[in-house]
């Protein structure tokens, strides 16, 4: 089985380099060491059935791409691949990679790949802000919390519009398990509601609005013909589904979040993910440099400014204004750039074939 250990043992590595904050020069004493690189499959494995596009460790701190996958990423102007190819912080670089030319890679596509990724960082920062200020209770809401009673049929003279079901049950001193629901033809998620008193002798019983607390649907009952409904019930099914999705995402985030970064976000008091915002500006700057200078500067010359962003020095609104200014510069750089619209796929493919043929 191919893994990090075997690609090193079998001398399959073509490039091994620092990545992440230590490559950008924005690392702190607590920063992890990220390593990325490129390897090449032996011909018998490449021609076989088990092509391996990449190998990595469990935390993805170490990632190596197979040469074909790596060139595919370069052809898409993938920021991570472009950074790896142009970094000067490498431990080992096989001269055979000189067959890949920077001028065949860099193109106007970087406006979308670098800046597009940067804009997702802004969305992430907004999402974290929402999670911090709107934490979700551990207990998920139930279907009952999304049900409403419409105009009461037993009190036509006092129509009050809709009322939350839980409030209505409380006022009426009813139990949900004693309720019965019947669907209404051609009207989605709206039901006739019936009720029976346990103290009265009856030959039937209702199933309740919910079968159990974890039910995701209301429950329908067999209603005797002579029974009269006492209210209309509306189930906001879309609202319930949205709540369940948000609940799931929130608690998955709590489980998987990087607690050090989360505590840093709370500590600096600006209520955004400062590290994501730092990367936003790094990527915007790199896109502008590629378009204007046809250069990829991995080690950032404005380290101090980026670290100020990471420390929470600026307010979120200040950063958004700064980002808007950068995007304007990016648009101008794109219009004036002499880079081709797309990478030279034919030359990149030719380089891949040459690398395969010249490797053992």
Taking only the tens place, the pLDDT of each residue in 126-174 is: 554 454 445 668 888 999 999 999 865 555 555 567 899 999 999 999 9
Do 309 and 288 reside in the same domain of the chain?
Answer: yes
Residue 220 to residue 224: CA distance in whole angstroms: 13
In a domain, residue 243? The reply is no
Same domain, 16 and 41: yes
In the chain, how many domains are there?
A: 3
Higher pLDDT, 82 or 155: 82
246 belongs to a structural domain: no
At which of 237, 271, 306 does a domain end? 237
Q: Are residues 266 and 314 in the same domain?
A: yes
Domain end, chosen from 237, 266, 298, is at 237
CATH of the domain at 355: 3.30.460
Greatest Cα pair distance in the chain: 91
Same domain? 196 vs 67: no
Q: What per-residue confidence (pLDDT) applies to 24?
A: 96
What is the band of 110 on the pLDDT scale with cuts at 50, 70, 90? very high
188, part of any domain: yes
* DSSP of 183-216: E-TT-TTEEEEEE--TTS--S-----S-SSTT-S
| Same domain, residue pair 131 and 160 | no
Per-residue pLDDT reduced to its tens digit, 252-306: 766 665 554 444 444 444 556 788 889 899 999 999 999 999 999 999 999 999 9
Q: Do 269 and 318 lie in a common domain?
A: yes
Specify whether 295 is located in the same domain as 228.
no
On whether both 114 and 65 belong to a single domain, the answer is: no
- In a shared domain, residues 100 and 174: no
Q: Quote the tokens at residue 347.
A: 């030359």
Identify whether 142 is part of a domain: no
- The answer to whether residues 114 and 98 belong to one domain is no
Residues 152, 122 share a domain: no
- Note the helical H segments in the chain: 4-9, 21-24, 43-46, 67-75, 79-86, 102-105, 110-133, 165-172, 237-256, 259-268, 274-293, 303-310, 316-336, 345-358
185 HSE (CA, 13 A, CB side)? 0
Residue 37, SS3 per DSSP: strand
Instruction: Say yes or no to pLDDT of 6 above 80.
Output: yes
What domain range includes position 168? 147-237
Residue with tokens 């030319």: 101
When comparing pLDDT for 314 and 250, which is higher? Answer: 314
Q: Read off the pLDDT of each residue in 210-238 and give the average, rounded to a whole number.
A: 92
Q: For residue 251, is it within any domain?
A: no
Residue 245 belongs to a domain: no
Mark whether 99 and 1 lie in a shared domain: yes
Please indicate, yes or no, if residue 117 is contained in any of the structural domains: yes
End-to-end CA distance of the chain: 20
In a domain, 55, yes or no: yes
DSSP state of 136: P
């Amino acid at each position: 089985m191919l893994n990090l250990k075997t690609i090193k043992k079998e001398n399959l590595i073509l490039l091994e380099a620092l990545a992440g904050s230590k490559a950008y020069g924005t690392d702190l004493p607590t920063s992890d060491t990220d390593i990325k690189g490129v390897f090449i499959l032996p011909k018998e494995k490449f021609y076989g059935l088990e092509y391996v596009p990449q190998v990595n460790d469990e935390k993805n701190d170490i990632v190596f791409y197979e040469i074909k996958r790596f060139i595919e990423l370069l052809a898409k102007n993938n920021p991570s691949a472009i950074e790896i190819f142009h970094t000067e912080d490498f431990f080992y670089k096989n001269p055979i990679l000189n067959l890949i030319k920077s001028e065949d890679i860099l193109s106007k596509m970087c406006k979308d790949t670098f800046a597009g990724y940067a804009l997702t960082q802004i969305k992430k920062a907004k999402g974290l802000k929402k999670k911090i200020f709107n934490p979700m209770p551990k207990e998920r809401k139930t279907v009952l919390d999304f049900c409403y009673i419409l105009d009461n049929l037993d009190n036509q003279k006092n129509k009050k519009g809709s009322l939350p079901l839980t409030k209505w049950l409380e006022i009426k001193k009813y139990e949900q398990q004693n309720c019965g629901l019947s669907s209404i033809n051609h009207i989605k998620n709206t039901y006739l509601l019936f009720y029976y008193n346990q103290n009265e002798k009856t030959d039937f019983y209702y199933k309740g609005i919910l079968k159990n607390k974890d039910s995701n649907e209301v429950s329908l009952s067999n209603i005797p013909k002579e029974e009269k409904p006492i209210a209309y019930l509306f189930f906001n099914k879309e609202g319930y589904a949205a709540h369940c999705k948000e609940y799931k995402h929130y608690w998955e985030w709590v489980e998987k979040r990087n607690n050090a970064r989360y505590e840093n976000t709370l500590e600096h008091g600006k209520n955004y993910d400062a590290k994501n915002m730092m990367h936003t500006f790094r990527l915007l700057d790199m896109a502008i440099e590629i378009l204007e200078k046809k250069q990829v500067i991995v080690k950032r010359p404005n380290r101090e400014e980026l670290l100020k962003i990471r420390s929470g020095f600026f307010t979120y609104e200040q950063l958004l204004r700064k980002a808007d200014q950068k995007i304007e510069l990016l648009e101008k750089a794109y219009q004036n750039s002499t880079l081709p619209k797309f990478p030279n796929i034919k030359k990149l493919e030719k380089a891949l074939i040459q690398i395969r043929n010249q490797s053992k």
